Amino acid sequence: MLSSSTELREVFEFAPEWEALLRNWEGGSRPNSADFLGRVGAKAMFIKAQKLDKQRDAFVRVLRDHYYQPVLQKMLGSNQNLRRFLSQRYMSTEDQRGQSISLSVEISQKLESVLIKHLNGATEDGFKVLLPAYIQRTVHNSVIDYIRVEANWERTTLQDVYLDPEQDDPRSSVADDLSVTPENQILNGEQVGQLNVLRTHLMHMLQEPGAAHDALTVVDCMFGMGLTPSSVAGQEMTMREVCDRLNIQAETMARRIARCQVLLDKGLDLIRQRIYKQLPGIAECWQRGLNVNTASRRELSQQLGMTEGEIERLIKGRQFTTLDELVQQSIVKPNRLPELKNKGATAAFVPVEINSATARDITDILGLSKDLSQKLVSERPFKDFSELVKKGLIGQKDLDLLTRRGAVLKNKAADSKRIDLNRGSLEEITGAGIDSELAGYILKVRPFMTWSELEEAIGAECPAWNALRQRFYLGIAGS
């Protein structure tokens, strides 16, 4: 591996003017190439690449090797989904590190191709592919794809021989962590500015003469934005509450809610039109990475431009592991696929946990009718899939279809055998096979809100990590 000095010399061959930044670098130690290029900034790197002619390809390779790859290795090394999945396969720390490096090389090559595409197309905001948030989003999606492929291979060939009976399906674990993984927090920070810009536009829309104020007020109340006297910031309302707050009149409550739904749809359409016309940057950012396995009909139509026929065939054929399957299964014609990809379409497997999913997700993703989805919701929880057949809710053929499309079921009985690590006594924890010294330390530093907190406390390489995950759960402290 090259030293940081050698890496920086390679960078300065293309951008000698950047040496001044190194001379003014705060701190005594010499920065590595990734930290230095991060300080230079995505825009500066992109503009430099644009100005280079014959040396452009060589400079992009330097960015790939000395910026993308070390950043990716760091992100993959701290990715909780990947670390959990590899540790459950009893992979040694060295092997885990090797797998992270392998993935970082693969992803860096993909990012290099995307960067070249933006450079060749002289894309105005092509610098975004160099932003840490963009790299993190790519890492997140790549890890999910990797876990899905590996878990599917094990399921079909090895019958999950590496999984203990009480261990969760890895795909389900990934789904649980989508909104709370620490590595996703950077995305939230990047989008705060966009949300503030959008909020300002919404305030102006509510003051414009002739605007559909009723529809926009419904949106304000539903999402608790606090832009009108009718709503309070941070307090979302149900449709029934909105009907009462705005005094929406009709013969029955059902019709009042229906009118509220019409106003909500109208308000969202107005906001969407404003975003597309006056805030194209936000539109492009938000529609990038639209998962065709979970997207609504409206998103498929308005963001991806799909026809009604394509949408019907897509929903009927969910879920897809790659976008190429849309062509293979005659969902869309081959010439439509590049257009969908350019608009941000992705295909990422999303497990649907029957005991906790909404009726809409069961209908839209798993393909059950609305009536049957509602019946499943009313009859749950279920201990296993066979219970669905025994109760006459679905047939075996329908059950096979559900599991193919991503249905999963967590075994609550297995969870009941586990011990709450936030409440268990020293005797209970040591009785479950945990060393007394480690158990005593856990008692001192608990409670833990997430497994990530526990991992930080005891170290990622703790030999008892797998035993803790399999024999304990984290209850809510004080509940």
Query: Does the pTM exceed 0.85?
Result: no
Scanning 247-369, the segments in alpha helix (DSSP H) are 253-278, 280-287, 297-302, 308-317, 324-328, 337-342, 359-364
- Residue 333: per-residue pLDDT: 92
Residues 193-247: tens digit of each pLDDT? 666 777 888 888 888 887 788 999 998 998 888 889 999 887 888 888 899 999 9
Candidate from 46-50, 58-62, 467-471 with smallest mean pLDDT? 467-471
Asked if the model's pLDDT at residue 17 lies above 80, the reply is: yes
Q: How far is CA 285 from CA 273, 289, 299, 366, 479, in A?
A: 15, 9, 14, 28, 40
Write down the pLDDT at residue 195: 66
Asked whether residue 463 carries a pLDDT value surpassing 70, the answer given is: yes
Predicted local confidence at residue 29, as pLDDT: 67
Assigned CATH for 418-473: 1.10.150
| Calpha distance 177→455 (Å, rounded) | 15
Q: Which residues, at least 6 apart from 69, have a Cβ–Cβ distance to it below 8 Å?
A: 104, 105, 108
Backbone conformation region of residue 439, classed left if phi is above 0, alpha if psi is from -120 to 50, else beta = alpha
Percent share of the chain, pLDDT over 90 = 10
- By the 10 Å C-beta count (0-12 exposed, 13-18 middle, 19+ buried), 351 is classed as buried
Q: How far apart are the first and last CA of the chain?
A: 51
Q: Which amino acid is at 410?
A: K
- pLDDT band at residue 81 using 50, 70 and 90 as cut-offs: confident
Domain locations along the chain: 4-176, 188-286, 290-346, 352-411, 418-473
Closest CA to 316 of 363, 277, 381, 275: 363
At residue 376, does pLDDT exceed 70? yes
| pLDDT band at residue 384 using 50, 70 and 90 as cut-offs | confident
∠ CA 476-478-479 to the nearest 5 degrees? 65
Supply the pLDDT for residue 181: 46
Q: What is the pLDDT of residues 169-186, one digit of tens each?
A: 544 444 444 444 444 444
Nearest-angstrom CA–CA distance, 241 and 77? 46
CATH topology of domain 352-411: DNA polymerase; domain 1 (1.10.150)
Q: If you ran DSSP here, which 8-state letter would residue 31 be given?
A: P
Q: How far apart are CA 211 and CA 230, in angstroms?
A: 17
Fold match, 352-411 / 418-473? yes
Characterize 396-434 residue by residue with b for buried, 16 or more Cβ atoms within 10 angstroms of its Cβ, and e for exposed.
eeebeebeebbbbbbbeeeeeebbebbebeeeebbebeb
